[in-house]
Structure 1
Amino acid sequence: MAPTIFLLLALFSIVESTAGEGGGLKLELIRHRLSPDNVSPMAAKSQIWPETSQFIVKIAVGTPPTEVHAIFDTGSDLFWAQCRPCVKCYRQTNPIYDPSKSSTFRTLSCKSPQCHLTGSGAACSGTDTCKYGYGYGSGSTQGELATEKMAVTSRSGATTSFSGVVFGCGHNNSGTFNANEMGLIGFGRGAVSFVSQIGPSVGGRKFSLCLMPYNTDPRISSSLSIGSGSEVKGPGVITAQLVRTSDQTSYSLTLKGISVGKTFVPYSTSGPPAKGNAILDTGTPPTLLPKELYGRLAAEVRRQIPSKPIDDTLCYKGNLGNLVMTLHFDGGVNLRLSTIQTFNKMPDGSFCFTAMSVDDKDALIGNSMMANFLVGYDIDNMTVSFKPTDCTKIG
């Protein structure tokens, strides 16, 4: 869910995060060390659940804790939750987090360097309280930046807690969020992201997760691991080098083209593709492709599938055949996709293509196309690794 961060009245300054010796997190210009409250520097583990076309992580926020069900998003940085008092909040099934009832809630002042971490959307004007504003294609959130105690719990019941995590207390939130989605947790590369804040204290700014196919039973959970031990290794692993771009949030790769069966469809017909032209974004369900590329790809998909599509769509009621697609990234990295990643099974039994056309020069690889891969992100080494996995069986 790649955001458009809007600064309400002032620009934020850039503060880089670095891993210190001994696994602690050191933020440049900030005399603050964020460490786990009750564990040694090893991976923090949590679970992840499907929620319609998104994926949810449960985070315990505050003292006493309120359980927040947040959309997991590698396309943004800030973790925010709906927060009382609500100026404007969308309907939420579970209790809304109330900072007045938490003994560990602390608002940030505009003088605090934490107010200006990269990716926070912070702005200050006429008040000492650090405000923020974050916009997405499907909604927005506004409120105040604060620190709070947070905890994640593994399937085995092991809980890892952290004090002083910066997050957004959202008082004005709108968009297409549903009643089970209580906020959004950003896992981008920016300094304010959840993984950038807690990762170094548990062995590194790295994490891995496994997303289930579309329409998986929402009672089935999968795995999320942060820090040491989260690395994706073993037979069948494909590793690609991430590209540094001007966007300090995104996980960017260079997509050279897509094969449908043995037919290669180049990314562009007018020359080599730009470096870092494809973003991995778990917060966006479909894969978004430039219009011209999508048109050529869709024509080849129609040609190779034996069944007739429904009307003028890439949805099918019949047999999809043995369609195999391959994403070709720079460096000779080829990611083979089955119909599990390229077609979503809809409630009516039809299968619909997981990509769509957009008016943009860059591509975005959405969560549907990453289903049934154990994916490891390593910010410190700028790599991403994929391993074919049945994600419904590793919760």
Structure 2
Amino acid sequence: MYCIYVLCVAGGSQGLPITQKYGPCSGSGHSQPPNPQEIFGRDESKVSFINSKFNQYAPENLKDHTPNNKQFGEDGNFLVDVAFGTPPQKFTLILDTGSSITWTQCKACVNCLQDPSRYFDPSASSTYSSGSCIPAVEDNYTTTYGDKSTSEGNYGCDTLILEPSDVYPKFQFGCGRNNKGDFGSGVDGVLGLGQGQLSTVSQTASKFNKVFSYCLPEEDSIGSLLFGEKATSQSSLKFTSLVNGPGTSGSEESGYYFVKLLDISVGNKRLNIPSSVFASPRTIIDSGTVITRLPQRAYSALKAAFKKAMAKYPLSNGRRKENDMLDTCYNLTGTKDVLLPEIVLHFGRGADVRLNGTNIVWGSDASRLCLAFAGTSELTIIGNRQQLSLTVLYDIQGRRIGFGGNGCSK
């Protein structure tokens, strides 16, 4: 569905606004979103990239292994506006919990992004200093993303302005001089919200205590990104523990956010999936992956229960196209008042996340509406489709993640 005039519904009264890159509320200048095959193709590349990172920690691969901390996966569906420097220079960045380096396109870039007229000008900021301001970090950086997009440049330090009341001095970010790949028109860089040393979360720890939350909006609404006390002031959240991922110990932090998924319910009936199914190689929450990936045994149980609950609706006979990973689809043309079963994700510590409507299905064409989950033999990944309109709070120091409903409503 393509809308010309859309009333964009804002999120909470506080926080950094989040928009979908291809939605009508985005100011990024996108007129034509990618088709489903392109989205699914990029999503598969992203998932393969994430799994390749953690496959290196499999027992047979640990010998003589040196992790490459310069590579991260990123999809780029959600955008935020931040500013750097004095006076502030404003840029639109991709929100990414799967990477740590924050960077923006800089003046005199050799290879520029699609909008070469927007770049950070170090000479125009009175508070800018070139090079790293974090000990033992080199002055230059190279970041490669899951779709082979890259950014290379030098680090700089300057004031980061998230909101007028959220200003952080001496923030280290990448000054992108050589940027290749399809980040999308109107996009100036990436806001890294992972757990690495250089992430926005780690660098602002003294001000925000390594706490942030977001609500990822549907295409015709606006979400919010909150830090510190603004994030923790939200109520009615259910928390699950952050756990160590493959290749980490109690004293180390994984770049991704790992949790324990224990079971799934469909229509108030638990599937009673053995917890061992999710135990290896574990579960991550990721803002860049679109479709949630479940272990094949869990997905098969979910699919069977969903089909049983949807038995009165006709299956779609449309032929699956290339890269289409969704295999449980319905033709609801002319059908009114479709009743979708509620799906509940049961995480550790009793954190039950209830999914309805757009959280569980994919498709704007009534002739093909699909269950928005897929099977995998590797990492379980909770994608952004299942996070839409939820409040997701990351408390890294408290080692927990919280979930709440209606995070994007006024």
Interval containing the TM-score (normalised by the shorter chain): 0.7 to 0.9
Partner residue of 2:145? Answer: 136
Partner residue of 2:238? Answer: 238
Q: Which runs of 5+ in 1 are unaligned?
A: 1-43, 117-123, 125-129
Contact 2:134 / 2:172 at 8 angstroms: preserved in 1? no
What SS class does the counterpart of residue 178 from structure 1 fall into?
Answer: coil
CA displacement, residues 324-363 of structure 1 (integer Å, 9 cap, x when unaligned): 11112223332221123112352678533332344x4211
CA displacement, residues 123-157 of structure 1 (integer Å, 9 cap, x when unaligned): x5xxxxx111222212222221221212122xxxx
Contact 1:88 / 1:172 at 8 angstroms: preserved in 2? yes
Mapping 1:6-45, distance limit 5 Å: 45=15
- In the alignment, the residues of structure 2 paired with residue 89 and residue 268 of structure 1 have an alpha-carbon distance, to the nearest angstrom, of 50
Aligned letter for 1:137?
G
Mapping 1:146-185, distance limit 5 Å: 146-153=156-163, 158-185=164-191
Aligned letter for 1:244?
N
- In the alignment, the residues of structure 2 paired with residue 188 and residue 292 of structure 1 have an alpha-carbon distance, to the nearest angstrom, of 29
- In the alignment, the residues of structure 2 paired with residue 368 and residue 133 of structure 1 have an alpha-carbon distance, to the nearest angstrom, of 29
Partner residue of 1:367? Answer: 384
Aligned letter for 1:322?
L
RMSD between superposed Cα atoms in Å:
2.7
CA displacement, residues 237-259 of structure 1 (integer Å, 9 cap, x when unaligned): 21111112325222111112322
CA displacement, residues 296-321 of structure 1 (integer Å, 9 cap, x when unaligned): 43343233223233335434341652
Partner residue of 1:260? Answer: 266
What SS class does the counterpart of residue 230 from structure 2 fall into?
Answer: coil
Measure how far apart 1:58 and its partner are: 0.5
Given candidates 341, 344, 351, the residue that maps to 2:359 is 341
- In the alignment, the residues of structure 2 paired with residue 93 and residue 295 of structure 1 have an alpha-carbon distance, to the nearest angstrom, of 47
Identity of aligned residues (%): 28
Higher share in helix: 2
- In the alignment, the residues of structure 1 paired with residue 281 and residue 350 of structure 2 have an alpha-carbon distance, to the nearest angstrom, of 15
Aligned letter for 1:355?
F
Given candidates 36, 47, 50, the residue that maps to 2:17 is 47
From the superposition, tell whether residues 195 and 349 of structure 1 become closer, same or farther in structure 2 (CA, over 3 Å): farther
- In the alignment, the residues of structure 2 paired with residue 85 and residue 337 of structure 1 have an alpha-carbon distance, to the nearest angstrom, of 46
- In the alignment, the residues of structure 1 paired with residue 20 and residue 186 of structure 2 have an alpha-carbon distance, to the nearest angstrom, of 11
- In the alignment, the residues of structure 2 paired with residue 234 and residue 208 of structure 1 have an alpha-carbon distance, to the nearest angstrom, of 12
Contact 1:346 / 1:352 at 8 angstroms: preserved in 2? no
From the superposition, tell whether residues 272 and 351 of structure 1 become closer, same or farther in structure 2 (CA, over 3 Å): closer
Partner residue of 1:330? Answer: 348
From the superposition, tell whether residues 114 and 292 of structure 1 become closer, same or farther in structure 2 (CA, over 3 Å): farther
CA displacement, residues 79-122 of structure 1 (integer Å, 9 cap, x when unaligned): 1112232222331276122334333332225xx64453xxxxxx
Aligned letter for 1:99?
P
Deviates further, 242-251 or 142-151: 242-251
Measure how far apart 1:380 and its partner are: 0.9
Given candidates 97, 103, 119, the residue that maps to 1:74 is 97
CA displacement, residues 39-72 of structure 1 (integer Å, 9 cap, x when unaligned): xxxxx94222221271111011123332111111
Higher share in strand: 1
Contact 2:153 / 2:176 at 8 angstroms: preserved in 1? yes
Deviates further, 251-260 or 289-298: 289-298
Whether 1:379 and 2:396 are equivalent positions in the alignment is: yes
From the superposition, tell whether residues 272 and 347 of structure 1 become closer, same or farther in structure 2 (CA, over 3 Å): closer
From the superposition, tell whether residues 339 and 83 of structure 1 become closer, same or farther in structure 2 (CA, over 3 Å): same
Contact 2:122 / 2:128 at 8 angstroms: preserved in 1? yes
- In the alignment, the residues of structure 1 paired with residue 375 and residue 115 of structure 2 have an alpha-carbon distance, to the nearest angstrom, of 32
Measure how far apart 1:295 and its partner are: 4.0
Contact 2:112 / 2:177 at 8 angstroms: preserved in 1? yes
- In the alignment, the residues of structure 1 paired with residue 136 and residue 91 of structure 2 have an alpha-carbon distance, to the nearest angstrom, of 22
Contact 1:211 / 1:370 at 8 angstroms: preserved in 2? yes
- In the alignment, the residues of structure 2 paired with residue 176 and residue 267 of structure 1 have an alpha-carbon distance, to the nearest angstrom, of 39
Aligned letter for 2:91?
V
Aligned letter for 1:281?
D
From the superposition, tell whether residues 147 and 101 of structure 1 become closer, same or farther in structure 2 (CA, over 3 Å): same
CA displacement, residues 191-217 of structure 1 (integer Å, 9 cap, x when unaligned): 211122124224x2111221212xx22
From the superposition, tell whether residues 201 and 141 of structure 1 become closer, same or farther in structure 2 (CA, over 3 Å): same
Aligned letter for 2:330?
Y
Aligned letter for 2:121?
D
Whether 1:189 and 2:203 are equivalent positions in the alignment is: no
Partner residue of 1:316? Answer: 330
From the superposition, tell whether residues 385 and 88 of structure 1 become closer, same or farther in structure 2 (CA, over 3 Å): same
- In the alignment, the residues of structure 2 paired with residue 143 and residue 295 of structure 1 have an alpha-carbon distance, to the nearest angstrom, of 45
Whether 1:298 and 2:300 are equivalent positions in the alignment is: no
- In the alignment, the residues of structure 1 paired with residue 158 and residue 371 of structure 2 have an alpha-carbon distance, to the nearest angstrom, of 41
From the superposition, tell whether residues 56 and 89 of structure 1 become closer, same or farther in structure 2 (CA, over 3 Å): same
Contact 1:255 / 1:276 at 8 angstroms: preserved in 2? no
Contact 1:252 / 1:276 at 8 angstroms: preserved in 2? no
Measure how far apart 1:263 and its partner are: 4.7
Partner residue of 1:37? Answer: none
Measure how far apart 1:266 and its partner are: 5.8
- In the alignment, the residues of structure 2 paired with residue 281 and residue 295 of structure 1 have an alpha-carbon distance, to the nearest angstrom, of 22
What SS class does the counterpart of residue 134 from structure 1 fall into?
Answer: strand
Contact 1:93 / 1:179 at 8 angstroms: preserved in 2? no
TM-score (normalised: structure 1): 0.73
Measure how far apart 1:390 and its partner are: 5.2
